[in-house]
Amino acid sequence: MLNMELRRDCLLGAAICVFAACGDSPKGNTFYERNVEPILVQTCGGNTSGCHISDPKDPFAIVAGNFDVSSFESVQKRRDVLTSFGVYPYPLLLIKAVGPGKLQFQYGSNPNVVTKSIDVQHSGGGLIEPGTDAYFTLQRWLDNGATENGLRPATPPVTGSGECTDTPPAGFDASQFNTLQGFQSFK
């Protein structure tokens, strides 16, 4: 009887450990390492030539386009490919990852709005299809500022400049504001 209770307690303890760990991310891994880096390494660095991963045996550590996807720090060295590219509403990384003709943009104003495809060439061709999980993961990460934790950076608080004063500025006419609807109830 004691053995059965001991077994039951061990199994219960093991089950709690397994269930408690299921929802947790691997320790020490960032959003970038878990979600973005595998996409970049597999598509941009894992092809036959490994275009965007430096070879440790290469003394010059040359990578195509000077864009190394082997780490977050390396990717951040090319912030220009992580933000909107020229007139295009997409970052160059996303444009090149999907290949020419897959993304579109509009310019002009009504009634003369023109829609064009983005035909920026990538020597590796299109590697990710728009609408796939990989595409949406990259797009969300890039839209949020391509940060390591995947979140948009906090907006810094805005502070005024100069000294505080209780005196209205010269030429201020309070009577203009007394006629606004709702001012009396606010007052």
Q: Is the peptide bond before 59 cis (omega within 30 degrees of 0)?
A: no
Tokens 């195509």: give the residue. 64
pLDDT value, residue 184: 64
Q: Where are the domains of the chain?
A: 30-41+77-151
- For the stretch 81-101, pLDDT in tens is 999 978 889 999 999 999 999
Q: Give CA–CA dist 32/36, Å, rounded.
A: 5
Report for 23-37, 67-81, 171-185: range of highest mean pLDDT: 67-81
Token output for 111: 């009634």
Residue 17 has pLDDT above 60, yes or no: no
Q: How confident is the model at residue 11 (pLDDT cuts 50, 70, 90)?
A: very low
